[in-house]
A and B are shown apart, each in its own frame.
Chain A
Amino acid sequence: MPLDKVTQVAQTKPWHGDIPVYGQYTFGIAGERFFRDIKDKGRIMGAECAACNLVYVPPRIYCERCFGELAKWLEIPNRGVVHTFTVAHADLDGNRLKEPVVVALVKFDGVYGGLVHRLGEVEPDKVAIGMAVEMMLKPKAERTGSILDINYFRPIQA
């Protein structure tokens, strides 16, 4: 005879747990150099794949399309355009944000890739795809070698 199923809510009881480890990530060969450049020199670098005629931002040591090694690095102007964006009203904990955050993918001229970051100094309803923006770095003394060394991107005043 099969056993009785759980038939009353009072019989149910969850068991709680979590994942008691955390991550520590190196930046990799390309990432190390990319973020050192941002931190120390305040500039964005890209890596070129001559075979595919692509310039990667963020730079990599390999081309994802042809698998060639990317040895040539070049400086990228810190002005780009909004490729796409969203206005986020919820934070990571799911709480409503008092001030919504505009998150965008900023693409640079002639570049394969771009950077995901927030937009600043702009009203959310004024943002549009194709808008020209420029990178705003934190002051050099506050930069640690992180994507957060970029404070935000802001619209370029025409």
Chain B
Amino acid sequence: MRKVAVVGAGMTKFMRRAQETGKELAWQAAGMALDSCELTLKDVDCVVMGTAPDAFDMIHMKAEYLSDGAGAWRKPYMRGFLGGGTGVFVANQAWYHVASGLFDVCLVVAEEKMSSCLPHPQGAFVTCWDQFTESPLGTSLLWFFAWEMNRYMTAHGITEREIAQVSVKNKKNALDHPCAQLPAEITVDDVMNSEVMAWPVKRLDVSPTSDGAVALVFASEEVAKRITDKPVWVEGVGWCLDTMYIGQRDLYYPKYVEYAARMAYDMAGIKDPRAEIDIAEPYDPFSYKELHHAEGLLLCDKGEAVKLLVNGETQRTGRQPWCPSGGALGVGNAIAATGTMKVAEIFWQLRGEAGKRQVPGKPRKGVAQAWGDEMQVGTVIVLGV
């Protein structure tokens, strides 16, 4: 299989409301990514766009609209889509654009402008669920997370206070992220006392809605070695989608994440992810999700993630840091862009370029993961140096 490397990354601030249009955000991130590896648009063979539902930007076929901002003018340009899992999936897609042998340099741009959706970006989700049997109930996005969190807590006897520590950790990590939207020093009590939105989900368990863009540059081995002495290799990719019928499966465990992770680990030759993975960026749109996903990523036994958290092993200075970036809870959740931000974070961490966020001990292998749809999608990428 052809070797593929990530060679550049860029991103905009994550913001509740950006003045920039989606195109402008895309250009800002993409331009920065190209600058970072000293390539120009001429060097780019193809472009992959990652952006979640059109209902956020409120533009039908929004990838078409965004294409010039993403640098796709007169280039092969494709948009991959797996709901909230899109951000990591497009990295996988860029990998196969290059690994196929068709292209040498692929620019990935992930953009989201959720503030365009009124009365509130959450309203977009009511257009997601099954139109016949689910949406007519007035189904809210938060119900799903509340159900899953409740099921997860009940299955393993985990408490809300324990889960709250994810928010505390990630918002604190985000204090060191220059693009973060909601960095904060908060306590478990702050989380517990925050407004109940859909019990057991409280306001500080939830990531914000965001506008922002992130871009990555992928290159073939030959090009990567020519333009950088610090390529970060794509070692494994995986993606998997479970049935849409939510009542047909048990929410306490994300089997789809496990399947996607196994695909990626198999490809990367990873036998024991707990020992071999140095840093992880599991998707954390809600506090419990980081734990839930870490279990799916096989970074611990089922129900055990919370122990690693409570012991401090997942802190930036811990044995295996989770979400050293600050994650969706701290940096912001510009859906597709957030997944790609996680890939960018692993890229920066493995190159030792994460600044104040740098995880000590020269990490060599990292995994980024995103999740999406109706509690259905796992997308995973393993990077290494």
Residue from A19, A27, A32, A62 in contact with B27 in the complex, judged by beta carbons closer than 8 Å: A62
Q: Taking the nearest CB of chain B, how far is it from the CB of A22, in angstroms?
A: 5
Asked if B194 is at the interface of the complex by the 8 Å CB criterion, the answer is no
Contact in complex: B58, A23 (CB < 8 Å)? yes
| Contact between A62 and B116, CB atoms less than 8 A apart | no
B73 and A25 contacting across the interface, CB-CB below 8 Å: no
Kindly supply a per-residue 1/0 record for chain A positions 56-76, scoring 1 wherever the CB is within 8 Å of any chain B CB and 0 otherwise.
000011101111010000000
A32–B19 touching, CB < 8 Å: yes
Hey, which chain A residues are within 8 Å of B312, CB to CB?
none
A30 at the interface (CB under 8 A from B): yes
Given A15-B131, A28-B20, A29-B24: A23 touches B126 (CB 8 Å cut-off): no
Q: Chain B 113-151, CB within 8 Å of chain A: the 1/0 string?
A: 001111100011011000110010000000000000000
In whole angstroms, how far apart are the Cα atoms of A105 and B40 in the complex?
31
Instruction: Name which residue of chain B comes closest to A62, CB basis.
Output: B27
Given contacts A64-B73, A66-B41, contact A21 B117 (CB under 8 A): yes
Contact B124 A21 (CB under 8 A): yes
Whether A61 contacts B68 by the Cβ 8 Å rule is no
Contact across chains for B27 and A67 when beta carbons are under 8 A apart: yes
Q: Does B69 contact A (CB under 8 A)?
A: yes
Given the contacts A15-B132, A28-B19, A65-B73, A21 and B41 also touching, CB distance less than 8 Å = no
Q: Is B9 an interface position by the 8 A CB rule?
A: no
Given A23-B116, A28-B20, A64 and B68 contact (CB-CB distance below 8 Å): yes
Task: Tell me which residues across on chain A come within 8 A of B19, comparing CB atoms.
Answer: 26, 28-29, 32
**Do residues A21 and B23 form an inter-chain contact, with CB atoms below 8 A?**
no
- Taking the complex as formed, is A31 at the interface, i.e. its CB lies under 8 A from any CB of chain B? yes
CB distance from B153 to the nearest CB of A (A): 32
Q: Which residues of B contact A21 (CB under 8 A)?
A: 55, 58, 117-119, 123-124, 126-127
Within 8 A of A (CB), among B171-190: none
A10-24 near B? 1/0 per residue, CB < 8 Å: 000001010111111
Contact partners of B42 in chain A: CB under 8 A = 66
**CB-nearest residue of chain A to B41:** A67
Which residues on B sit within 8 Å (CB–CB) of A26?
A: 17-21
**Smallest beta-carbon distance A33→chain B, Å:** 11
How far does the alpha carbon of A69 sit from the alpha carbon of B20 in the complex, in Å? 14
Contact with A20, one of B30, B40, B126 (Cβ below 8 angstroms): B126
Closest A residue, CB atoms, query B69: A62
Does B71 sit at the interface, judged by CB under 8 A? Answer: yes
Given A62-B31, A62-B69, A64-B73, A23:B118 Cβ within 8 A = yes
Q: Which residues of B contact A19 (CB under 8 A)?
A: 55, 127
Known: A23-B59, A23-B117, A26-B19. A62 touches B24 (CB 8 A): yes
**B interface residues, tally (CB under 8 Å):** 33
**A17–B135 CB distance below 8 A:** yes
Whether B131 contacts A28 by the Cβ 8 Å rule is: no
Verify A67–B30 contact, CB threshold 8 A: yes
Could you mark each residue 347-370 of chain B with 1 if its beta carbon is under 8 Å from any beta carbon of chain A, else 0?
000000000000000000000000
Residue of B whose beta carbon sits closest to that of A18: B127
Given A62-B31, A67-B27, A67-B34, decide whether A25 and B21 contact each other with a Cβ distance below 8 A. Answer: yes
Contacts of B23 in A (CB 8 A): 28
Closest to A27 in B: B21
Question: B14-48 vs A: 1/0 string, CB under 8 Å?
Answer: 00011111011001001100100000111000000
Given contacts A23-B118, A26-B20, A67-B40, contact A61 B132 (CB under 8 A): no
Instruction: Report A-chain residues with C-beta under 8 Å of the C-beta of B68.
Output: 64
Residue from A29, A31, A64 with most neighbouring chain B CB atoms (10 Å):
A64
Distance in angstroms from B36 CB to nearest chain A CB is: 13
Among A23, A32, A60, A62, which residue has the most Cβ atoms of chain B within 10 A? A62
- In the complex, residue of chain B having the shortest beta-carbon distance to the beta carbon of A30: B24
Cα–Cα, bound, A29→B59 (Å): 19
A17 contacts B131, C-beta separation under 8 Å: yes
Q: Hey, which chain A residues are within 8 Å of B34, CB to CB?
A: 67
Establish whether residues A25 and B116, one from each chain, have CB atoms under 8 Å apart when the complex forms. yes
Note all chain B residues with C-beta closer than 8 A to A22: 58, 118-119
Question: Which residues of chain A (88-141) have a CB below 8 Å from chain B?
Answer: none
Chain A residues engaging chain B, CB cutoff 8 angstroms: 15, 17, 19-32, 60-62, 64-67, 69
10 A-B residue contacts at CB 8 Å?
A20-B126, A23-B58, A23-B117, A28-B23, A29-B20, A30-B24, A66-B42, A67-B30, A67-B31, A69-B31
Q: Taking A21-B126, A26-B21 as given, write out 10 further A-B residue pairs in contact, using a Cβ cutoff of 8 Å, ordered by the A residue number.
A: A20-B123, A21-B118, A23-B118, A24-B116, A26-B18, A31-B21, A61-B27, A62-B31, A64-B68, A67-B30
